[in-house]
Amino acid sequence: MNKDESVRFAARYLEDLLSFFGINVAVSSTVDDEVIQLSVPSTSLNSLLIGRNADNLRALQHVVSMALVSKDAELRRVNVDVANYKRQRADRIAEKAENWIRKVRETGEPMEINLNAADRRIVHKTAQDYSDIETHSEGEGRERKLIISKISD
């Protein structure tokens, strides 16, 4: 299955999955950095679809991704967003990152922050705009932490 077919399949698969739960919506799709981006519009069941700590959202992504793997699709990585939840969360994390960076710049002291992988990526990307700041992750699994520090002169 080529890239275009992968994207169409993923969107249709998610629509079918949602319709099983009585949610009949059109899922929009794009591709960004070899990741299929699926966007579900807002419904009365947003909280159910997102779940606690976005667990249900991650489960939906996993199910769609595994369906793509089973079809030997060219694109297999999937990002599902419901009612722009992830985009709004990313904006909030980026805003926090700006504050953390400002604090590191003022104090010169590195900061260690416990974040999940997606949130760490947002902070890494935000920090790229600062030539005097560097970020890296340390640790394994759930113990992995993000370190923000000032670059030594």
CATH 3.30.300.20 in the chain is located at: 3-83
Q: How do beta strands 111-113 and 133-138 pair?
A: unpaired
Q: Are 38 and 80 in contact (CB under 8 A)?
A: yes
pLDDT band at 44 (very low <50, low <70, confident <90, very high): confident
Give the span between the Cα atoms of 24 and 35, in whole angstroms: 24
What is the structure's pLDDT at 4?
Answer: 87
The mean pLDDT of 82-105, rounded to a whole number, is 93
Q: Is the pTM of this model over 0.85?
A: no
Given a cut of 80, whether residue 152 has pLDDT beyond it is no
Give the span between the Cα atoms of 145 and 111, in whole angstroms: 10
Given a cut of 90, whether residue 127 has pLDDT beyond it is yes
- Correct CATH for 88-150 of 3.30.70.2190, 3.40.50.2000, 3.30.1370.50, 3.40.1830.10: 3.30.1370.50
pLDDT digits (tens, 9 = 90+) for 10-31: 999 999 999 998 889 999 998 9
**Domain at 3-83: CATH architecture:** 2-Layer Sandwich (3.30)
Q: Are 117 and 128 in contact (CB under 8 A)?
A: no
Given a cut of 70, whether residue 63 has pLDDT beyond it is yes
